[in-house]
Structure 1
Amino acid sequence: MLNSDAYVAALDESSTASGVSWAAVFAGAVAAAALSLILLLLGSGLGFSAISPWADKGLSAEGLGISAIIWLAFTQLVAAAMGGYLAGRLRKRWTTLHNDEVYFRDTAHGFLAWGVATLVTATLVVGSVSSLVSGTAQVGATLSTSPATAQVADNSDDSYFIDTLFRDDRGAPVTSDAAHDVAGRIFARNLASDNGALNPDDRAYLAQLVAQRTDLSQADAQARVDKVYGQAHQAVVDLKVAADAAKKAAAHATLWMFVALLIGAFVAAFTAIYGGRQRDAVVILDDRRTVPVR
Structure 2
Amino acid sequence: MSAEGLGISTIIWLTFTQIIASGLGGYLAGRLRVKWANMHGTEVYFRDTAHGFLAWAVATLVTATLLIGSASHIVSSGVQAGASVASGAATATLQAAGNMARDTSSQDYGYFIDSLFRNDSPSSSSDDAIHAVVVRIFAKSLSNDGQMASQDRAYLVQLIAQRTNLSQAEAEQRLDQVYAQTRQAVEDAKMAAKKAADTATTIAAWTSLWMFVALLCGAFFASFAATLGGRQRDAVTYVDDLGHTSEAIHVSPPSLKS
Name the TM tier (shorter chain). Answer: 0.5 to 0.7
Counterpart AA for 2:10: A
Relative distance call for 1:73 and 1:264 in structure 2 (3 A) is: same
Q: Aligned pair 1:212/2:166, yes or no?
A: no
Relative distance call for 1:68 and 1:126 in structure 2 (3 A) is: farther
Shift of 1:85: 0.8
- Higher RCO (C-alpha under 8 Å, 6+ residues apart): 2
Relative distance call for 1:208 and 1:226 in structure 2 (3 A) is: farther
- Taking structure 2 as the reference length, the TM-score comes to 0.61
For residues 179 and 193 of structure 2, the distance between their equivalents in structure 1, rounded to whole angstroms, comes to 21
Relative distance call for 1:210 and 1:203 in structure 2 (3 A) is: same
Relative distance call for 1:248 and 1:210 in structure 2 (3 A) is: farther
For the Cα contact (< 8 Å) 2:137–2:152, is it kept in 1? Answer: no
Counterpart AA for 1:183: F
Counterpart AA for 1:275: G
CA-to-partner distance for each residue in 1:98-142, whole Å, 9 max, x for gaps?
Answer: 12111110000001111111222223338999xxxxxxxxxxxxx
Q: Aligned pair 1:110/2:110, yes or no?
A: no
CA-to-partner distance for each residue in 1:120-167, whole Å, 9 max, x for gaps?
Answer: 2223338999xxxxxxxxxxxxxxxxxxxxxxxxxxxxxxxxxxxxxx
Give the equivalent residue in structure 2 for 1:47.
Answer: none
Shift of 1:210: 7.6
For residues 128 and 65 of structure 1, the distance between their equivalents in structure 2, rounded to whole angstroms, comes to 23
Counterpart AA for 1:279: R
Relative distance call for 1:210 and 1:123 in structure 2 (3 A) is: farther
For residues 60 and 120 of structure 1, the distance between their equivalents in structure 2, rounded to whole angstroms, comes to 32
For residues 232 and 238 of structure 2, the distance between their equivalents in structure 1, rounded to whole angstroms, comes to 14
Counterpart AA for 1:205: D
Counterpart mapping for 1:56-75 below 5 A: 59-75=1-17
For residues 18 and 52 of structure 2, the distance between their equivalents in structure 1, rounded to whole angstroms, comes to 13
Relative distance call for 1:250 and 1:205 in structure 2 (3 A) is: same
Counterpart mapping for 1:179-218 below 5 A: 179-190=134-145, 198-199=146-147, 201-202=148-149, 205=152, 208-209=155-156, 212=159, 215-216=163-164, 217-218=171-172
| 1:256 maps to which of 190, 210, 219 | 210
For residues 190 and 158 of structure 2, the distance between their equivalents in structure 1, rounded to whole angstroms, comes to 26
Counterpart AA for 1:224: V
| Structure with max Cα Rg | 2
Structure 1, 280-289 or 73-82: larger mean CA deviation: 280-289
For the Cα contact (< 8 Å) 1:207–1:225, is it kept in 2? Answer: no
The count of aligned residue pairs is 186
Give the equivalent residue in structure 2 for 1:119.
Answer: 61
Relative distance call for 1:232 and 1:206 in structure 2 (3 A) is: farther
Give the equivalent residue in structure 1 for 2:22.
Answer: 80
- Taking structure 1 as the reference length, the TM-score comes to 0.54
CA-to-partner distance for each residue in 1:190-247, whole Å, 9 max, x for gaps?
Answer: 3xxxxxxx22x35873684486379352321221111122112111111111211221
Shift of 1:270: 0.4
For residues 204 and 138 of structure 2, the distance between their equivalents in structure 1, rounded to whole angstroms, comes to 36
Q: CA RMSD in A?
A: 3.3
Structure 1, 174-183 or 215-224: larger mean CA deviation: 174-183
| 2:225 maps to which of 236, 250, 271 | 271
Relative distance call for 1:228 and 1:254 in structure 2 (3 A) is: same
Unaligned runs of 5+ in 1: 1-58, 130-171, 191-197
